[in-house]
Amino acid sequence: MRNIGYYNGKIGLIEEMLIPMNDRAIYFGDGVYDATCCKNGVVYLADEHIDRFFNNAGLIDIVPNFTKKELYDLLHSLLKQVDSDECFAYWQISRGTAKRNHIYPQNVSPNLYITITPAPVRDIYKKIKVITAEDKRFLMCNIKTIDLLPTVIASQKAEEAGAEECIFHRGDRVTECSHSNVHILKDGKLKTAPTDCYILPGIARAHIIKACKKLCIPVDETPFTLYELKNADEIIISSSSKFCLSADVLNGEKVGGKAPELLKAIQDEVFGEFLKGVGA
């Protein structure tokens, strides 16, 4: 198949799948999701993504009607049916299907929705442009909710500015990007925001920290400012599809480029772990 969609046991091409209009994902964004890249029939870091998925579901009182192993097996089974060696897997769970009402419906089962689409693994050494914007999201950014309107708007602003990402800040404090985590290198140290309610505890973020520790690069998990961002030796953007990119333009001005060897060492370690993980 050129792509695959799954909804509560039904399987087909994404463009041919139908879902109920009363799925609470549609009118409330009442659910959580996770996603990762795939290669050689492997859903990369599946266990970590599934653990986070179940944790996030629990944080909004959704109890999956399947086990972690069942989801793991299902993702890999669906992946095998897609005619591409490199793919992107996305899955979400909603509270269920019921008449529109803000109050949780009783006696309904969650809905599981999965898509797997061809997506080439990107060149992590290619520089990107970024912009900044005030972070107007709510105070549950640690939950990977499917309600993403503020990040959609920010992503569009970045697109219109010729940039790939929008870095959020609350006042002077840098938080994260519209769909990535952000880190800086300064004076031989990696600085990254703490995992509080203002950012998602990114899995790629965790693996960058792991890479730094392996390379004996100090890691500082404390807030940093817009000034520090602008004056960083390198700006790093990470996600499960981006791995470990660096930005060389911030709000139209050149930035970074002051620690290329250190940056490349981290990128090599992160991408090498990916290649090993997918058997490449």
* Residue 278: band (very low, low, confident or very high) from pLDDT cuts 50, 70, 90: very high
CB 130 within 8 A of CB 249: yes
d(CA 94, CA 72): 18
Tokens representing 84 are: 């591409």
DSSP for residue 15: G
Q: What mean pLDDT value characterizes the chain?
A: 98
Identified catalytic residue from 99, 126, 136, 144: 144
CATH architecture classification, 4-118: 2-Layer Sandwich (3.30)
pLDDT at 50 over 80: yes
pLDDT digits (tens, 9 = 90+) for 13-40: 999 999 999 999 999 999 999 999 999 9
pLDDT digits (tens, 9 = 90+) for 197-209: 999 999 999 999 9
pLDDT, average across residues 106-117: 98
Question: E strands of 4-136, at which residues?
Answer: 4-7, 10-12, 31-39, 42-43, 86-94, 111-118, 128-134
Tokens representing 58 are: 């629990």
Q: Does domain 128-277 have CATH number 3.20.10.10?
A: yes
SS3 content of the chain, % helix, strand, coil (to 5): 30, 30, 40
d(CA 183, CA 256): 12
Domain segments of the chain as ranges: 4-118, 128-277
pLDDT, average across residues 69-92: 98
* Residue 61: band (very low, low, confident or very high) from pLDDT cuts 50, 70, 90: very high
What is the sign of the dihedral through the CA atoms of 116, 10, 53 and 135?
positive
What is the predicted pLDDT for the residue at 270?
98
pLDDT at 154 over 80: yes
> Per this entry, what is the length of the chain?
280
Q: Is 152 exposed, middle or buried (CB count within 10 Å of its CB: 0-12, 13-18, 19+)?
A: exposed
pLDDT at 257 over 90: yes
pLDDT digits (tens, 9 = 90+) for 205-236: 999 999 999 999 999 999 999 999 999 999 99
Residue 254 designated active-site: no
* CA atoms within 13 Å, Cβ hemisphere of 186: 14
* Residue 269: band (very low, low, confident or very high) from pLDDT cuts 50, 70, 90: very high
CB 236 within 8 A of CB 184: yes
pLDDT at 280 over 80: no
What is the predicted pLDDT for the residue at 52?
99
